[in-house]
Structure 1
Amino acid sequence: MSSLAIGLTGIGGMLILLFLRQPVWLTLLLCGVVGNIVMNNGKVAQMVAATNVFDTSYNYGLSVIPLFILMGEVATRSRMSAELFAAARVLLTGVRGGLPIATIAASGAFGAICGSSVATAAAMTRIALPEMRKAGYEDGYAAASIAAGGSLGILIPPSVILLIYASIAEVSIARLFAASMIPGIVLMLVYIAVAVVLARKAQPRNPDLPVSILTRVRALLGPWQFVLLFVLTIGGIYTGIFSPNEAAAIGAFGAIVLGLAQRSLTLAHLVDAIQRSVIISCVLFMVIIGATVFANFVVQTRMPDLLLAAAADANMSAAAVMGIIILAYIVMGCFLEGIGMVLITVPVFLPVVVGFGFDPIWFGVLVTILVELGLLTPPVGMNLFIIKSQVPDMKMRVLYNGILPFLIAPLIVIALMFSVPEIATWLPDRLF
């Protein structure tokens, strides 16, 4: 059996195990170990697995992941998301569809200190959905605006997906964070544009009362903790004052200090945030370990090189290759979870993409947008299920119908990424 056939068999076995609902980390690790045994022998497979476990656990650069996760967990329990929503609501009072728009804006802002789409969607469901229901917004429209806004958490830095991509692609986290900022803002604005168009059909029962300019200005001062954390972490990275690891540590510590000082974070909440951070980080590191073992197997099969050569022999253009890759991500996003999808595909696709002359930083932003699309795409849209889990009386059919108009927003940004690549490359080129 050729190395390409072995590689394709390994990927096929991996997909079968995933569809059988096996854990992602176990699937990747098992296929990687078995693949290494087939390519080499049991002793080599054992050495590869042991080395990857040690290297991943010992990697100082990956310490940024649990620290940013802790910052997001503390921020969630410190009611920063509620303060952002309250400020956005006041600022947008009088605007038709103001509450859904405020939800998207607050979600995008909260994503800048949370880094998790699931956590952002969960927090905004508790805060914004009752208010939108009270105002008379239709459930599908209200829930879809929460799901769409929540997905921004993995694109606007810091982002767990971007951190994992950086570790796989071995690219600068700081440059990747800078590259994702403008596309993240653009996507948030496109989501808002969709919400504005849909708001024409909305008939809220409780129209907002007039709000003075002074009240709107005061509302901007409400989420000052968020602004401070953002300046300390992302601003510190962009200006070169802090490394990503230092910024993550300062951000986590700052979130704890601010929460305790404002008495919005109790000791019980802090302990819960630490426990959640440890559990999430352990799961992520297990997935990363499995992915590195699987990536080692893929590299040995020379599959990326063979795919690149096959595309060249077939005279396929760079646009055609990228079209196939994007279609593959969209299809996988309908069934697979985002982090696992990145860990499975990047080792295979990245060498091909770079071989056709695309910037790996640019590709990292593109992959994140595609993962974001997967968070919203039926039947396995994670953000939709997060909302459903917190609102059992809402039917999935309502969620599916509501989210469909918002799916056009990531596609528009993807088209912009190809037509104007500088959207992702301009800021990192200026800062670093």
Structure 2
Amino acid sequence: MSETLIGVIGIGALFFCLVARLPVGMSLLVVGFGGIWWLDGSRAAIATMSSETYSSVTAYGLSIIPLFVLMGNVAGAAGYSQKLYEAAYAWIGRLRGGLGAATVMGCAAFAAVSGSSVATAVTIGKVALPQMKRFGYADGLATGSVAAGGTLGILIPPSTGFVLYAILTEESIGKLFIAGILPGLLLSLLFVVVIVIVTTLNPEQGPAGPTTTWGEKLWSTLMSMPLIGVILVSIGGIYLGVFTPVEAAGVGAFLVTVLALGTGAMKISKMPDILMETVVMTAMLYLIIIGAHVFGPFLALTHIPATLAEGLQSLGLGAYGTLLLILIGYIILGMFFDGLAMLVVTMPVVYPIITAFGFDPIWFGVVCVIVIEMGLITPPVGINVFVVKGVAQGVPMATIFRGVLPFWFAMAVCLLLLVLFPQIATFLPTQMKG
């Protein structure tokens, strides 16, 4: 049996595991380990697994994961997400569709501490959906704005998607974080535009909310400033070269914890549960990284990445034709598979092609994350849709999927703008200090 055929069998086995909803990290680890054993013997398989496990767990750069996860968990437990939403709500809630726009803005702000789309959708959804229901918002617009807004969690830094992309491609985590800022703001704006268009065409979809006084606006803004200050310190520190990404994560986690405990927003008795949540999430992400580092050598042994790369280049589609084909492939895969798993499986093939055509790898990292975002709200998987369904249990799945459709097209527009104007993603990283 040829090495290529063994590789195809391995990829098929991996897809079967993912469709069967087995953990992503364990699926990668088992298939990669078994494939190396088949091709190169048990000693090579055991040596690869043990060395990659040790190097992944002890890598200093990966300590950014538990620190940023801790920061997001503490911020959520302290109710800072509600304060961010209330600030946006006070300023624009009185406008038609204003509560939906406030939801998007709240998601964007909370994304800057959570790094997770699911966490962002759940946390903001619990706050925003009851308010929108109270003021008569259509179920589709209400749930769609939460599901789509939640996807900003992996685009606006810190982002687990950027961390995994950086590990797979050996690019700078700091530059990827900074590269996600302007595209994240652009996508947030496009989501707001969608809400404005929907409520202009059909005002009953998103009635105006209550009017707030200037005093209420200023007070809600003041209450949100501590978390905004932490975001500016940690992300701004990376941009200015004051902190490395790991140091920024440590500073952010420390400041959020001190603020939450010092102001009484969170009781210290909650810390054990928060730490356990952090450990569970970190373990899941570390397992994916370990699995990726075992699956990668298996793919290399099969020569599939090199063969596919040569095949794509031989089609003669040119740089942008090949890019379009890759993005269409990502969108189709995103309909069925977890985004992080998709990155792990495809990056050994796609990354060499992208760099060979002269595309900026930092820019492509942003593009990949946006495509993953599209998968988060695309049927039949659409994990953010299922998450929102858990919060809004009385809303049918079909209604939520219809609600996210306009936001999906907004993501496509954002993707097109990034291709036409790559400087949206590359400008800030080129201006970084240090």
Q: TM-score of the superposition, structure 2-length normalised?
A: 0.96
The CA distance in 2 between the partners of 1:127 and 1:206, in whole Å, is 18
* Structure 2 letter corresponding to 1:242: F
The CA distance in 2 between the partners of 1:205 and 1:335, in whole Å, is 32
- 1:69 maps to 69
The CA distance in 2 between the partners of 1:97 and 1:21, in whole Å, is 37
Deviation at 1:277, TM superposition (A): 0.4
The CA distance in 2 between the partners of 1:277 and 1:222, in whole Å, is 26
Cα deviations across residues 222-272 of structure 1 (Å, max 9, x unaligned)? 201112111221111111111111111111111110001121111232221
- 1:277 maps to 278
Deviation at 1:323, TM superposition (A): 1.7
| Secondary structure in structure 2 of the residue aligned to 1:431 | coil
Cα deviations across residues 104-153 of structure 1 (Å, max 9, x unaligned)? 01110110111111011001111000000000001111010111111101
The CA distance in 1 between the partners of 2:228 and 2:432, in whole Å, is 20
The CA distance in 2 between the partners of 1:218 and 1:268, in whole Å, is 28
The CA distance in 2 between the partners of 1:394 and 1:293, in whole Å, is 41
Equivalent residues of 1:91, 1:219 under 8 A apart: no
- 1:392 maps to 393
Equivalent residues of 1:298, 1:348 under 8 A apart: no
> Where in structure 2 are the equivalents of 1:300-311 lying within 5 Å?
300-311=301-312
1:103 has 2:111 as partner: no
Equivalent residues of 1:305, 1:352 under 8 A apart: no
- 1:377 maps to 378
The CA distance in 2 between the partners of 1:299 and 1:152, in whole Å, is 33
Q: Which runs of 5+ in 2 are unaligned?
A: none
Cα deviations across residues 392-424 of structure 1 (Å, max 9, x unaligned)? 222111111111111101101111111111111
Cα deviations across residues 27-79 of structure 1 (Å, max 9, x unaligned)? 11121112212321111111111111111111111000111000000000111
Say if 1:7 and 1:321 are closer, same or farther in 2 by CA, change over 3 A. farther
Decide which moves more: 269-278 or 336-345. Answer: 336-345
The CA distance in 2 between the partners of 1:312 and 1:330, in whole Å, is 20
- 1:12 maps to 12
The CA distance in 1 between the partners of 2:46 and 2:429, in whole Å, is 40
Say if 1:65 and 1:95 are closer, same or farther in 2 by CA, change over 3 A. same
* Structure 1 letter corresponding to 2:379: P
* Structure 1 letter corresponding to 2:91: L
- 1:168 maps to 168
The CA distance in 2 between the partners of 1:253 and 1:102, in whole Å, is 28
> Where in structure 2 are the equivalents of 1:47-66 lying within 5 Å?
47-66=47-66
The CA distance in 2 between the partners of 1:109 and 1:253, in whole Å, is 19
Cα deviations across residues 298-331 of structure 1 (Å, max 9, x unaligned)? 1222322222222233323122221221112111
Decide which moves more: 301-310 or 383-392. Answer: 301-310
Equivalent residues of 1:304, 1:352 under 8 A apart: no
* Structure 2 letter corresponding to 1:243: T
Cα deviations across residues 144-164 of structure 1 (Å, max 9, x unaligned)? 011111110110001111111
Q: What is the RMSD computed on CA atoms of the aligned residues?
A: 1.6
| Secondary structure in structure 2 of the residue aligned to 1:352 | helix
Cα deviations across residues 165-195 of structure 1 (Å, max 9, x unaligned)? 1111111111101111111100000011001
Deviation at 1:364, TM superposition (A): 0.8
Cα deviations across residues 320-353 of structure 1 (Å, max 9, x unaligned)? 2212211121112112122222222222321222
Deviation at 1:279, TM superposition (A): 0.5
Sequence identity of aligned pairs in percent?
38
- 1:141 maps to 141
The CA distance in 2 between the partners of 1:328 and 1:408, in whole Å, is 17
1:416 has 2:390 as partner: no
- 2:226 maps to 225
The CA distance in 1 between the partners of 2:349 and 2:17, in whole Å, is 18
> Where in structure 2 are the equivalents of 1:238-253 lying within 5 Å?
238-253=239-254
| Secondary structure in structure 2 of the residue aligned to 1:203 | helix
The CA distance in 2 between the partners of 1:388 and 1:416, in whole Å, is 31
The CA distance in 2 between the partners of 1:339 and 1:312, in whole Å, is 25
Equivalent residues of 1:121, 1:146 under 8 A apart: yes
The CA distance in 1 between the partners of 2:334 and 2:427, in whole Å, is 28
The CA distance in 2 between the partners of 1:369 and 1:205, in whole Å, is 27
Equivalent residues of 1:4, 1:306 under 8 A apart: no
| Secondary structure in structure 1 of the residue aligned to 2:310 | helix
Equivalent residues of 2:115, 2:158 under 8 A apart: yes
The CA distance in 1 between the partners of 2:393 and 2:93, in whole Å, is 29
Deviation at 1:207, TM superposition (A): 4.1
* Structure 2 letter corresponding to 1:262: T
The CA distance in 2 between the partners of 1:366 and 1:136, in whole Å, is 36
Decide which moves more: 113-122 or 350-359. Answer: 350-359
Deviation at 1:4, TM superposition (A): 3.1
Equivalent residues of 1:307, 1:352 under 8 A apart: no
> Where in structure 2 are the equivalents of 1:11-410 lying within 5 Å?
11-200=11-200, 201-203=202-204, 207-410=208-411
